[in-house]
């Protein structure tokens, strides 16, 4: 996927282009300083900040730091999110996922605030297995847009909050994927 940089924007600058918007844009205004970029009919702001700011519909990887009967507290690398135990696909009071402390989950932000509200409803969301490692959030955003062109078999999940999960057939494959980033 190829993206083009349009211009530099500052927080509060109006963004009047008539395209779909995400990642740093809310109500036609820039929320962060960075480069306004375009991928096909979609606009986003690529900001080289080292701190992650949660936005609605962001896909994130978090580490479970607290387990309760009704909810989990998840470290999102800059804040703590709240994940209700019934916010999983096919979850009920009797059928809850087995998530323990220090497990990693792939989820979506559905509400922002002091403690963002998370959800794992949907295909591919939930507890993840594989090597999870931190990366600067702006590099994750760039990786999310550009992707990696390798002719190997591997699975990669990129969280916009600065965590990346890579799972491969062998440790050499994982090492080569990390080296290509």
Q: Which domain holds residue 66?
A: 59-128
Per-residue pLDDT of the chain (181 residues; tens, 9 = 90+): 577 888 898 888 888 888 777 777 878 888 888 888 887 787 888 787 778 888 888 899 999 999 998 999 999 988 999 999 999 988 888 888 889 999 999 999 999 888 999 999 989 899 998 788 888 877 777 776 666 666 777 788 888 888 888 887 777 777 777 777 6
Burial class (CB in 10 A: 0-12, 13-18, 19+), 32: middle
Residue 78 falls within a domain, yes or no? yes
Co-location of 102 and 68 in the same domain: yes
The CA distance from 50 to 139, in Å, is 9
Co-location of 94 and 40 in the same domain: no
Nearest to 8 by CA among 43, 49, 47: 47
Co-location of 19 and 71 in the same domain: no
**Helix residue spans in the chain (DSSP H):** 137-146, 171-180
At 21, which CATH number?
A: 2.40.50.100
Residue 54 falls within a domain, yes or no? no
Co-location of 31 and 80 in the same domain: no
Domains of the chain: total: 3
Q: Is the pTM of this model over 0.75?
A: yes
Co-location of 95 and 138 in the same domain: no
Co-location of 120 and 176 in the same domain: no
The CA distance from 127 to 103, in Å, is 7
The position carrying tokens 């965590």 is 163
Co-location of 110 and 145 in the same domain: no
Residue 153 falls within a domain, yes or no? yes
- pLDDT at residue 147, as a whole number: 65
**Helix residue spans in 56-124 (DSSP H):** none
Going from the C-alpha of 164 to that of each of 76, 89, 158, 172, 178, the distances in angstroms are 12, 22, 5, 17, 10
The C-alpha torsion from 39 through 40 and 43 to 49, rounded to 10°, is 0
The CA distance from 58 to 32, in Å, is 15
Residue 51 falls within a domain, yes or no? no
The pair of three-digit structure tokens given for residue 22, joined into one six-digit string: 């995400």
Co-location of 23 and 63 in the same domain: no
At 95, which CATH number?
A: 2.40.50.140
Determine the straight-line distance between the first and last CA of the chain, rounded to whole angstroms.
16
- pLDDT at residue 148, as a whole number: 64
Residue 88 falls within a domain, yes or no? yes
Co-location of 70 and 38 in the same domain: no
The CA distance from 122 to 35, in Å, is 31
Co-location of 73 and 115 in the same domain: yes
Co-location of 124 and 138 in the same domain: no
Residue 176 falls within a domain, yes or no? yes
Co-location of 69 and 124 in the same domain: yes
Chain mean position to CA 97: 21
DSSP state of 120: B
Residue 52 falls within a domain, yes or no? no
Residue 83 falls within a domain, yes or no? yes
């Amino acid at each position: 996927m190829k993206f083009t940089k349009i211009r530099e924007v500052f927080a509060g600058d109006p963004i009047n282009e008539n395209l779909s918007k995400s990642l740093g844009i809310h109500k036609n205004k820039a929320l962060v300083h960075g480069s306004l970029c375009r991928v096909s009919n979609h606009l986003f702001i690529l900001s080289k900040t080292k701190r992650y700011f949660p936005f609605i519909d962001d896909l994130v990887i978090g580490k479970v730091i607290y387990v309760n009967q009704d909810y989990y507290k998840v470290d999102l690398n800059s804040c703590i999110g709240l994940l209700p135990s019934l916010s999983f696909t096919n979850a009920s009071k009797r059928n809850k996922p087995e998530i323990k402390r220090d497990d990693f989950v792939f989820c979506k932000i559905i509400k922002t605030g002091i403690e963002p509200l998370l959800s794992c409803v949907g295909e591919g969301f939930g507890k993840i297995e594989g090597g999870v490692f931190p990366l600067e959030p702006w590099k994750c955003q760039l990786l999310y847009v550009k992707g990696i062109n390798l002719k190997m078999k591997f699975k990669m999940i990129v969280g916009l909050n600065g965590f990346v999960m890579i799972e491969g057939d062998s440790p050499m494959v994982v090492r080569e994927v990390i080296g290509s980033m």
